[in-house]
Structure 1
Amino acid sequence: MNNPFTWRIALFAGLAERLGTRMLTIEFEESSLSVGEIKQRLMERYPEESELLSVSFMARNQAFAADDAAVSSEDELALLPPVSGGSDAEASGAEARRPRYAVASEPLRAEAVQELVAHPDHGAILLFVGTTREWTGGSRTVLLEYEAYVPMAIGALERIGEEIAERWPGTLCAIHHRIGTVGVGEASVVIAVSSPHRAAAYEASRYAIERLKQTVPIWKKEVYEDGSEWKGHQLGPWNPLAPAPASPQGGAGS
């Protein structure tokens, strides 16, 4: 009889809490399985968490993998529950010292992110700052706790920037997201967009925050006076493999 293969699957946010571990170590007879097969076996092993496991996505070597994709016990694997919500090689000056896409534990500085998209030919800079609000649905929020699969999150932010550059040529984007504890009134995310035309800046900024909530593996726990709750992205069923929305008409206009 062959020895079983050891599989290691990293867990995050509410999924890690419910299963009581950050790294799931499990043995299977096979060295290769589909994502769907792994999820099904985990749902059988943890039936009380089957609903959350069914809507979670597998990441293989820091890229999302569909349920029919084959993965190996040798891969870097992570199981990601629904989410809440890089540097430029040719950059110089401030951009060379500070990446345009970052996940950081220290407080965010909106002005510093804005500087990363400043351009002499751009007539519009739009700055979005997402902050912790005190009241949500009648409950008083004490603080937020953010967690991220950091290397994959940075890659996902960079791809958002690439999508924006393709949809609104000439537009620059920078996104910095906070992890750890974020108090009331503090910034959790700063998105800066600059463009030759203001319409493109508005459209690209909205696109950035919506794609961030859809595709970036960052989770938010709301800590209330009387308890806490992990929040998903609240945009319907989470599917980070879904194609980006179609470009708006006149997206590059003035």
Structure 2
Amino acid sequence: MRLYLTIGFLFSSITLFGQSNSKKISLWATYYYVPTLMHNEKGIDILDKNEKKTGFKLDSCDWCNAVIEGTVFIKKENRTYVFNYAGRSKEMQYDCRQCSKYKNYGNYLNSSKVLWELSGGFGKGCKNYNLVPFITIAVDTVLVPIGSVIYIPMAKGVKYIDAEGKLAEHEGYFFAGDVGSKIKGNHIDVFLGSSKENPFGFVKSNQDGTFEAYIVTDKNLIAKYANLHK
């Protein structure tokens, strides 16, 4: 679940990897991550999809951080639990504008109703796809269908620390495995796992910071990245 602004997009047909039907698109990007937060007995309840208490609570500002990101690691009694977005409640649970950090937050009506479910790994995106750090992106499905692979030339060769703490080099490919209520038009959101360190120069978090990308049509590449998310 991601939360940002609306903008238009550009489409054109090109030849990529020897395929004449690949699409060149103009995108702009933000990033999201999984915060690691501490259970707080005096905090706000984490509710399940039936609006029942899960036994986990977060400080008000931590609660807001969690609902904005859509997935959260909660530490309780020396264990870490993964909770994933599972829908919205009928009533507001907490107005995040009451937290000074989010006093100007505009999407408080949606975020105030987030419900959760226990998950694993780094959480789930759409169609039960696992979120994969530095590979999964949230998209507007009108422009980029879930299950698509996007190639971003500016990402190829970028070095980053992967989920296992090892230095890796990016191949330039991203998998459309998530959505967000504010991810519209040519806006994508890059998943960074539990890291807030963004290694990608194309991620400007600004709708004027556009770059070129390509929707991949190679079935083998699509299958490779889909399997990576299962």
TM-score w.r.t. length of structure 1:
0.25
Structure with the greater alpha carbon radius of gyration:
1
Which of the pair is proportionally richer in helix?
Answer: 1
TM-score w.r.t. length of structure 2:
0.26
Structure with the greater relative contact order (CA < 8 A, sep ≥ 6): 1 or 2?
2
